[in-house]
Amino acid sequence: MNNETGYCLQIVLIKVKTQIYLFQSLKNVKSRLTGLHLTYIIVIIVNRKGGTPNKPNLNKRMKRFKHKLCLLALTCLSSLTAFSQEGVIDSSHVVTLRIDPQSARGAAVSQIFDEVKFVPLETTKASLFGNISELKISGNKFLIYDYDTKAVLVFTDEGKYLTKIDAAKLQTEKADKEKAVTHGFTLVKEGNTEYIAVYTPNNVQYFTLEGNFVKKTKNFNYYSPKLSFANSDVVIRPYTYIKKGKDSTRYSVVTIDKKTKDTVGYFKLDDKFFEKDDWYGDDPITKYNGDEAFYTRYYDYRLYKLTAKKMELAYKFIFPAINTLPKDFITNPIYVKKRFEYFEKNKKTIHGIGSSYLIGDQLYLKLSNIFWDKDQKKSLIYNTKTTELLSFQDLEPDSISSFLPITDSGFGYDFENRGFLAYEDKKFYTSYSALAMFTFKERSAGKTTQYPPLLEKYFKTGDRKSNPVIVILKPKQI
């Protein structure tokens, strides 16, 4: 099982009545977890079960953001006695790409993907949930975190419901300051056994993949996200402190050799980095093969390639002026704590580069922008050899997808907001709502006479309020 791609960890989310999920204060959350080395970053999740965006009001709701629009990440304190250093980034092979997103054209789905599979998730009273905020794959199982119900749900890879871990299964002791609530999960392997590690405000609780309680631990480092490379002892950890003597320095990305403990840190950070300013978008680490991952930074148009041995600047993007941030956007103090005001006045601006993948010659790009605009092209496929530029929202359904769209672009906002949920075993995973699926079926009426068995059953037994559908896409290795 490879659960280490597309690093995105959602842990603490507060739900408000609208479709927006955010923290208005980091201090309130941090005070509950004193003693831990944690950094809080805000995540924007625009969700409405069974619905489409309220288009006239969506941008108004965006005004409520005052802090970061990213994923919550644990920050580890690594006490290292071995060799530690600040890494040097190799920029000798950087490729500069001039891209106009709006010039991206369409193509048939079968030109890009070898396989498209729709997996409806079984809907029962026990399994009904709102939306997929996090997806992990373990063998033949889908593990899903839903913050509407604050539960981890387990389905087979054919969509059959198996079990869930919610407040009823979590253990709360008298000494705990508050009732245990699931705020996210990860997969942890101990020996040859894989466990679901559920994060709560009090501890990390371990469960089997069958949903049985195993143990609790106060060691939040076990929960800390990390990526590993194939055939290497090196792991990557984001937002990590390197401690040398009495001093410690935090870096955006750290590579650690598990055997020698040799450590290299990239992009030194101020301890109050997230408190001093507003950070919209994200800075993901996305692993696209066994030996390489991409890393991007806030308000930056560069993609860095990370391997077990080094980090190098791989791509630098130049966009049209209407999409481009001011050159001094990071350094000029006039923008500090006023980022949203700038974005609101310049809604076409690309805030940065999101989760991106290099599959063969195809560069899958996600451009960050917090405003919902069905006409703005933000998910692109760039061919590094031919320079052909395609837009996901313009991909034309055909027989390989049963004439159904492969994303909800232009109808909903799940794909625009999250992009791919995972990239595992050379396949992309995304999802969309039952409402979208049944609407797409009506729109494609008459184009196909028979759907795959899973979809055929879903259309007969499900409805617009059923659980979401996972979409699995196998890209061509062009």
Q: What is the pLDDT of residue 52?
A: 40
217-226, 339-348, 465-474: segment of lowest average pLDDT: 217-226
Query: Span 264-280, mean pLDDT?
Result: 90
Of 141-155, 196-210, 212-226, 422-436, least confident by mean pLDDT is 212-226
Residue 336 is encoded by which pair of tokens? 């500090």
What integer best gives the mean pLDDT of the chain? 82
Q: Is the pLDDT of residue 20 over 60?
A: no
Q: What is the pLDDT of residue 433?
A: 95
Mean pLDDT of 434-458: 93
Residue 83 is predicted with a pLDDT of 64
Of 71-75, 81-85, 297-301, 417-421, the one with minimum mean pLDDT is 71-75
* Domain layout of the chain by residue ranges: 26-475
Reported as a pLDDT band with limits 50, 70 and 90, residue 281 is: confident
**SS3 string of the chain?**
CCCCCCECCCCCCCECCCCCECCCCHHHHHHHHCCCCEECCCCCCCCCCCCCCCHHHHHHHHCCCCCCECCCEECEEEECCCCEEECCCECCCCEEEECCHHHCEEEEHHHHEEEEEEEECCCCCCCCCCCCCEEEEECCEEEEEECCCCEEEEEECCCCEEEEECCCCCCCCCCCCCCCCCCCEEEEEECCEEEEEEECCCCEEEECCCCCEEEEECCHHHCCCCEECCCCCEEEEEEEEEEECCEEEEEEEEEEECCCCCEEEEEEECCCHHHHCCCECCCCEEECCCCCEEECCCCCCEEEEECCCCEEEEEEEECCHHHCCCCCCCCCHHHCCCHHHHHHHCCCCCCEECCCEEECCEEEEEEECCCCCCCCCCEEEEECCCCCEEEEEEEECCHHHCCCCCCCECCECHHHHHCCCEEECCEEEEEECHHHHHHHHHHCCCCCCCCCHHHHHHHHHCCCCCCCEEEEEEECCC
Q: What are phi and psi of 414, to 5 degrees?
A: -60, -50
Of 18-27, 89-98, 108-117, minimum mean pLDDT range = 18-27
Q: Is the confidence at residue 255, as pLDDT, over 70?
A: yes
Query: Do the bridges between strand 84-86 and strand 263-269 make them parallel or antiparallel, or are there none, so unpaired?
Result: parallel
Q: Is 325 exposed, middle or buried (0-12, 13-18, 19+ CB in 10 A)?
A: buried
pLDDT at 24: 29
Lowest-confidence pick of 97-111, 166-180, 450-464: 166-180
217-251: pLDDT as tens digits:
876 665 556 788 888 899 898 888 888 778 889 99
Task: Please list, residue by residue across 257-287, b when 16 or more beta carbons sit within 10 angstroms of its beta carbon and e when fewer do.
Answer: beeeebbbbbbebeeebbeebbbbbbbbbbb
Whole-number pLDDT of residue 224? 58
| 360 CB neighbour count, 10 Å cutoff | 12
Q: Which residues contact 321 (CB under 8 A, 6 or more apart)?
A: none
Of 79, 11, 77, 76, nearest to 45 by C-alpha is 11
Residue 451 class from Cβ within 10 Å (0-12 exposed, 13-18 middle, 19+ buried)?
Answer: middle
Mean pLDDT value of segment 55-62: 39
pLDDT of residue 64: 33
Question: Residue 466 above 60 pLDDT?
Answer: yes
Token representation of residue 382: 């760039």
On whether the CB atoms of residues 195 and 156 are closer than 8 A, the answer is no
30 vs 388, residue with greater confidence: 388
d(CA 252, CA 239): 5
Tell me whether residue 196 is exposed, middle or buried, using C-beta atoms within 10 angstroms of its C-beta: 0 to 12, 13 to 18, 19 or more: buried
User: In the predicted model, is pLDDT for residue 49 greater than 50?
Assistant: no
The per-residue pLDDT for 8 is 34
- Structure confidence at residue 46 (pLDDT): 35
Q: Which of 147-151, 171-175, 280-284 has the highest mean pLDDT?
A: 147-151
pTM of the model: 0.82
Angstrom distance (rounded) from CA 2 to CA 198:
18
- Cα(440)–Cα(434) distance, rounded to whole angstroms? 10
pLDDT for res 66: 34
pLDDT for 208 beyond 50 = yes
Asked if residue 12 has pLDDT above 60, the reply is no
Please state whether beta strands 285-287 and 293-295 pair in parallel, antiparallel, or not at all (unpaired). antiparallel
Here the tokens at position 243 are 């401690």
* pLDDT given for residue 79 in this prediction: 45
Query: Residue 438 to residues 26, 186, 401, 456: CA-CA distances in angstroms?
Result: 40, 32, 14, 12
- Which has more confidence, 57 or 223? 223
Give, in order, the Cα–Cα distances in Å from 289 to each of 207, 380, 433, 452.
Answer: 29, 19, 29, 30
pLDDT of 27 > 70? The answer is: no
Q: Would you state the pLDDT for residue 9?
A: 32
pLDDT of residue 4: 38
pLDDT digits over 363-413, tens only? 999 999 988 888 899 999 999 999 999 999 999 999 999 999 999 987 888
Q: How confident is the model at residue 179 (pLDDT cuts 50, 70, 90)?
A: confident
278 has pLDDT over 50: yes
- Residue 26: predicted pLDDT: 33
Question: What confidence score (pLDDT) does residue 413 get?
Answer: 81
Question: What is the percent of the chain where pLDDT is above 70?
Answer: 81
Q: What is the CA radius of gyration of the chain?
A: 22
Mean pLDDT value of segment 57-70: 36
Tell me what pLDDT residue 313 has.
Answer: 98
Task: Say if residue 15's pLDDT is above 50.
Answer: no
Contacts of 30 (CB under 8 A, 6+ apart): 38, 40
Judged against a pLDDT cut of 90, whether residue 157 lies above it is answered with yes
